[in-house]
Amino acid sequence: MSVLLIAEHNNKEVKPFTLNAITAGSQIDQDLHVLVIGNKADEVSKSIAQVPNVKKVIQIDHEIYENYLPENFSPVIIKQAENYSHIVCSANTFGKNLMPRVAALLDTSQVSDIIKVISPDTFLRPIYAGNAFATVKSTDKKKCVTIRPTSFDPAATSGGSAEIIKAEASDATTLTKFIKREEVKSDRPELGTARVVISGGRGMQSGDNFKLITAIADKLNAAIGASRAAVDAGYITNDHQVGQTGKVVVPDLYIAVGISGAIQHLAGMKESKVIVAINKDGEAPIFSVADYGLEADLFEALPQFLEELNKLNTIQK
């Protein structure tokens, strides 16, 4: 039994969730190999080889892999999969797009978005937006599993020295063409891995009002999140959405501002360690998951909040 993990990266750096997936993968089996498919991704392979949990790195390099199209990735993964009992990757948009294509080609019923490894064939996963947890056992010979990264700690990044071997590329797809990626560049911590997240909802009333949130995020070195309502209304871009169909976050501190707390939003944040809710509707469901609820008009509360933070001598970053 060994595990093949598909690394997510941008050809220069490993994406942080790959490290969380490595932790989960090595809980399935110690013999964990990482497949780096990319274009001139030598640096990625080198840094993954230093992760102590990784026993081997397989690198497949070709320009056709620059933009991680699943139509190009799946044939090489299938070829490599022969020697492995488990194929795993993280359950973010990268893995969600890729893994089912691989699983279907292997005739395997995929186990999505696991939050716990119970045994090599049995996993815990949330269903119904996290309102129920299912323990499931895969009976397929080869198992395809995606991992909810925020449910596992990131693996250590130094101390290992796995061997790096090269494997051959497959033919390029003619079905799909990559055109462009519009990445929202930010100096803030990434939403998925930030220690503090402050999110705004429909109650923000406009995109411009998000500057009240930005000011506090600056002070706390926080990532900025949003409810679907705020994204739908055009207040903020989709990469900020937290929830069942957006991102799942588990920060030490989650501050929900002007968010009513629909179950679809709670699905993305209710595992946070400490939850603060600021809402003028005292009956809003967000208060049912909040450790500290403040029933107040956010347009008064946020400037006061910033003022109080400014009074503190020290703030954890």
Partner 1 sequence: MKILVAVKRVIDYNVQIRVKEDGTGVVTDNVKMSTNPPDDNAVEEAVKIKEAGKAKEIVAVTVGEDKAQETVRKALAVGADRGIHVKVEGTIEPLAVSKVLQKIVDKEKPDLVFMGKQAIDDDCNQTGQMLAALLNWPQATFASKIEVKDKSLEVTREVDEGLETIEVNIPAIVTCDLRLNEPRYASLPNIMKAKKKPIEQINASDLGVDTGQRIQQIKVEEPPKRKAGIKVANVEELVQKLKNEAKVI
Which of the residues 52 through 111 are near partner 1 (CB under 8 A)?
69-71, 74, 92-94, 96-105, 107-111
Candidates 30, 40, 63, 134: give the one binding partner 1 (CB under 8 A): 134
Residue 68 in contact with residue 35, Cβ under 8 Å?
no
Torsion angle of C-alpha atoms 218, 153, 251, 241, degrees rounded to 10: 90
Pick 30 or 303: Cβ nearer partner 1: 303
Residues 209-248, interacting with partner 1 (CB under 8 A): 220, 228, 231-232, 237-239, 244-245, 247
**By the 8 A CB rule, do 63 and 178 touch?**
no
Choose, by CB under 8 A, the member of 63, 133, 161, 165 that binds partner 1. 133
Which structure tokens are listed for 239? 């990469």
Minimum Å distance from CB 199 to partner 1?
16
Q: Which of 81, 236, 276, 284 binds partner 1 (CB under 8 A)?
A: 276
- Give the shortest CB-93-to-partner 1 separation in angstroms: 4
Q: In angstroms, give the least distance from the CB of 278 to partner 1.
A: 8
* Helix/strand/coil for 78: helix
Amino acid, single-letter form, for residue 22 = I
Distance CA 66, CA 250 (A): 30
Q: Least Å distance between CB 39 and partner 1?
A: 16
d(CA 309, CA 315): 8
Q: How far is the CB of 294 from partner 1 (least distance, A)?
A: 5
Type of residue at 191? L
Choose between 168 and 311: whose C-beta lies nearer to partner 1: 311
d(CA 86, CA 25): 9
DSSP state of 232: H
Number of residues that bind partner 1 (CB under 8 A): 91
DSSP one-letter code for 246:
S
Among 130, 203, 225, 261, binds partner 1 (CB under 8 A): 130
For partner 1, which residue of 12, 161, 273, 281 counts as binding (CB under 8 A)?
273
Please identify which residue in 113, 155, 230, 249 interacts with partner 1, judged by CB under 8 A. Answer: 113
User: Which residue reads 């809402």 in tokens?
Assistant: 279
Q: How far apart are CA 58 and CA 311, in angstroms?
A: 52
Q: Is 255 helix (H, G, I), strand (E, B) or coil?
A: strand
Which one of the spans 25-33, 45-53, 129-137, 156-164 is the region binding partner 1 (CB under 8 A)? Answer: 129-137
Report the DSSP pairing between strands 253-257 and 196-200. parallel
**Looking only at residues 172 through 211 of this chain, which bind partner 1 when binding is defined by CB under 8 A?**
173-184, 192, 196
Q: Rule CB under 8 A: which of 249-268 touch partner 1?
A: 252-253, 263-264
